[in-house]
Amino acid sequence: MVAGNWKLNKTATEAYSLVSEMLTGLRTIHGVDVVLCPPFTALYAVSKLIKDNDISLGGQDMYWEEKGPFTGEISARMLAEFCQYVILGHSERRQHFGETNEQVARKVKAALSQNLIPILCVGETLEENEAGRAAGVVSRQVHEALHLLDIQVIGNVIIAYEPVWAIGTGRAATPEGANMTIRNVIRPTIAGLAGETTAQKIRVLYGGSVDAGNARDFFTQPEIDGALVGGASLNAGFFISIVEAASTAG
Ligand code: PEP
**What digits encode the pLDDT tens for the residues 105-115?**
999 999 999 99
**Span from the CA of 4 to the centroid of ligand 1 (angstroms):** 8
Task: Decide: 229 in ligand 1 pocket, CB within 6 A.
Answer: yes
**What digits encode the pLDDT tens for the residues 105-142?**
999 999 999 999 999 999 999 999 999 999 999 999 99
Sequence-separated (6 or more) residues with CB below 8 Å from residue 48: none
Q: Amino acid identity of 91?
A: S
pLDDT at 87: 99
Query: What pLDDT band is residue 247 in, cutting at 50, 70 and 90?
Result: very high
**What digits encode the pLDDT tens for the residues 27-50?**
999 999 999 999 999 999 999 999
pLDDT at 250: 67
pLDDT at 11: 98
Residues of the chain above pLDDT 90, percent:
99
Compute the distance between CA of residue 111 and CA of residue 123 in angstroms, rounded to an integer.
Answer: 21
**Span from the CA of 65 to the centroid of ligand 1 (angstroms):** 27
Backbone angles phi, psi at 170, to 5 degrees: 80, 5
Helix-helix angle 134-146:187-194, to 10 degrees: 30
